[in-house]
A = this chain, B = another copy of it.
Amino acid sequence: MSDLVDIALGDKKADLVLRNANLVNVCSGEIYETDIAIAHGVIAGLGRYEGRVEIDAQDNYAVPGLIDGHTHIEMSMLSVREFAKAVVPRGTTAVVADPHEIANVLGIAGIRALFDDAKATALKVFCMAPSCVPPTDPSLGLETSGATIDQTEIKKLLLMDEFIGLAEVMNYEGVIAKEEEVWAKMAIAKALKMPIDGHAPLLSGKELNAYVVSGAGSDHENTSSAESQEKLRLGMRLMVREGSAAKNLKNIAPLLKSVDTRNCILVTDGDRTPLDLKDEGYLDYVLRRAIEEGIDPVKAVQMCTINPAQWFKLDAKIGCIAPGKIADIVLLKDLESFEVEKVLVNGKPDFASPSEYRYKYPQYRESVRLKRVKPADFVIVQEGTMKARIIGLIEGELQTGELVEEISGIEIGRDILEIGVLERHHHSGNIGLGFVKGFGLKTGAIASTIAHDAHNIVVIGTNEEDMALACNRLKAIGGGLVLCNGKEVTSELELPIAGLMSDKELDYVILKQKEMGDNISVMGCKLPAPFITMSFLALPVIPKLKITDKGLVDVTKQEIVGLFL
């Protein structure tokens, strides 16, 4: 600190000076030319400075490193190492991560592994304590999850240095019904004066008021300007998501152009496929899209820097380029297209290459705890045709319908396939079986250990042999995605880290994913994102009919229902 003051005073040379940069000053909302002096990883001064190293930045804009205010790293299917390698060079230097995917599989140990790995990267990963693990009330017995994070564990997490708040309280119905457990979790965060993120799609009017008065302080589930405006007016932080699947910016941009945007934050919600991550970018993509939608570039940058920093109380350290802040700086060739020239992390343009880090997760390669299954385990016993409850896919939605039809079993001609969920955390041997309509597969089977949020195994098939083979293969490779056809594994992506994340490079994941996409298309499934669609069929919090290792779930009633009527 003493040295920093000497450097600020000009009595000593800075470690590095960005000379004549066009600073995007998110505090004053201005762009102007200045030197940026850096020492000890921190910004020492703005003005005219000399450095031991100087970078001519007169053709560049300097913006603070972007902060993704809401993401789930696991959704990238990449290790934190690979994730950081992909996003940091694109200008995102910090993320606020809700590790609820790995938490559902491995509990606190999984979370800890995730942020321990994060420490070895150039990316600053701030954690939110997952509030809804598991997503359904365990006492209802609707499914078997890998882990439970109760109020005692929430408290433990929030007292750790890495944690800065309570992650999206998705159980908004529980909140306004004053459920004890979720209220207790929120009370802990409030007592610690930590931010509480919300999640309340389409919640409105008096119910939204009740949710806010209970303590939910933000929401990223906004699809229209009207919905967004209502939340912003109630004092919530408005998180606007633009992902591979959810595209919310176009609808919300008109609002963002007409209101005070200090409480608005651009986020990815983790919704970037590996391919999109590579081709289009990460939070830089969201920022670029916002500018395309006509939002003032400086305001758009604020929505990715100082705005999230203030909500998450990180603004003493990051979120703007000013004396005393950490020198996470992105130099751009062009502001509107966000073309990155160079990224500085902790003042270093040559931040330690994450590839030097040796990724180790020995215990997590054992996350698929499944007894070997046989085709017979998938046989649904029925006599002739029977009237069955069938999960009906609805194009472009995560919601499903409940169809009731006479069937004689798997009927490929009517696009009625078998779906199974196999418990994979506790060797219980639980298998829930049912039928799904609209998936389109004409042959073979597809299985995955990504199955929100309990992340058991979900499998869809045209025959029991391929279904069994796919599940057994998942166990052999430690989890991932598998396609089988004609009793052979035709393609696969290993995700050995908790069955959720690869230990390979981004390009490998992209290649494999493309290969699988091509394969499944040949097998008859024409859905735009079949694995993602399948992964949500096991989530018993989105209506109407879903399936877990316990069987079919009527989500609206929150109860297990029979397959046949």
CB contact between A2 and one of B178, B212, B310, B325 (< 8 Å): that residue = B178
Pair B28/A212 contact, Cβ less than 8 Å: no
CB distance from A152 to the nearest CB of B (A): 21
**B-facing residues in A431-471 (Cβ within 8 Å):** none
Pair B260/A29 contact, Cβ less than 8 Å: yes
User: Is A244 an interface residue when CB atoms closer than 8 A count as contact?
Assistant: no
Pair B235/A325 contact, Cβ less than 8 Å: yes
CB contact between A260 and one of B2, B27, B310 (< 8 Å): that residue = B27
**B-facing residues in A1-37 (Cβ within 8 Å):** 1-2, 4-5, 8-10, 25-30, 32
Pair A8/B322 contact, Cβ less than 8 Å: no
Known: A9-B207, A260-B29, A262-B262. Contact between A46 and B322, CB under 8 A? no
Chain B residues near A263: list those with CB within 8 A: 27-28
Pair B213/A8 contact, Cβ less than 8 Å: yes
Task: State A483–B323 Cα separation when bound (angstroms).
Answer: 50
CB distance from A49 to the nearest CB of B (A): 8
Task: State A32–B316 Cα separation when bound (angstroms).
Answer: 34
Interface centre among A2, A45, A178, A298 (most CB of B within 10 A): A45
Pair B47/A205 contact, Cβ less than 8 Å: yes
Stretch in A91-99, A137-145, A226-234, A518-526 touching the partner = A226-234
**B-facing residues in A27-62 (Cβ within 8 Å):** 27-30, 32, 42-47
CB contact between A29 and one of B29, B44, B259, B322 (< 8 Å): that residue = B259
Known: A9-B206, A176-B9. Contact between A212 and B324, CB under 8 A? yes
Pair B45/A4 contact, Cβ less than 8 Å: no
User: Is A493 an interface residue when CB atoms closer than 8 A count as contact?
Assistant: no
CB contact between A210 and one of B5, B178, B209, B213 (< 8 Å): that residue = B5
Task: State A457–B409 Cα separation when bound (angstroms).
Answer: 100
User: Is A214 an interface residue when CB atoms closer than 8 A count as contact?
Assistant: yes
Task: State A213–B205 Cα separation when bound (angstroms).
Answer: 45
User: Is A103 an interface residue when CB atoms closer than 8 A count as contact?
Assistant: no
User: Is A119 an interface residue when CB atoms closer than 8 A count as contact?
Assistant: no
User: Is A320 an interface residue when CB atoms closer than 8 A count as contact?
Assistant: yes
B-contact bits for A194-219, CB 8 A (1 contact / 0 none): 00000000000111011011110000
Task: State A263–B45 Cα separation when bound (angstroms).
Answer: 19
CB contact between A322 and one of B212, B316, B325 (< 8 Å): that residue = B212
User: Is A193 an interface residue when CB atoms closer than 8 A count as contact?
Assistant: yes
Chain B: CB-nearest residue to A206: B10
Chain B: CB-nearest residue to A215: B324
CB distance from A84 to the nearest CB of B (A): 27
Pair B323/A28 contact, Cβ less than 8 Å: no
Pair A214/B5 contact, Cβ less than 8 Å: yes
CB distance from A31 to the nearest CB of B (A): 11
Known: A28-B259, A206-B9. Contact between A4 and B213, CB under 8 A? yes
Task: State A234–B324 Cα separation when bound (angstroms).
Answer: 10
Chain B residues near A324: list those with CB within 8 A: 212-215, 235
B-contact bits for A140-156, CB 8 A (1 contact / 0 none): 00000000000000000
Chain B residues near A25: list those with CB within 8 A: 233
Pair A320/B5 contact, Cβ less than 8 Å: no
Chain B residues near A298: list those with CB within 8 A: 260
CB contact between A27 and one of B29, B206, B232, B313 (< 8 Å): that residue = B232
**B-facing residues in A207-256 (Cβ within 8 Å):** 207, 209-210, 212-215, 229, 232-235
Cross-chain pairs A/B with CB under 8 angstroms, 30 sampled: A1-B214, A5-B176, A5-B213, A5-B214, A8-B210, A8-B212, A8-B213, A9-B176, A9-B207, A27-B233, A27-B260, A28-B259, A28-B263, A29-B260, A30-B233, A30-B260, A32-B233, A46-B209, A193-B313, A209-B323, A212-B323, A213-B323, A213-B324, A214-B324, A215-B324, A233-B322, A234-B322, A234-B323, A235-B325, A260-B298
Residues in A lying within 8 Å of B, measured CB to CB = 1-2, 4-5, 8-10, 25-30, 32, 42-47, 176, 178, 193, 205-207, 209-210, 212-215, 229, 232-235, 259-260, 262-263, 298, 302, 310, 313, 316, 320, 322-325
Apart from A26-B260, A30-B259, A46-B234: 7 A-B pairs, beta carbons within 8 A? A5-B178, A9-B176, A46-B233, A193-B313, A212-B322, A235-B320, A262-B262
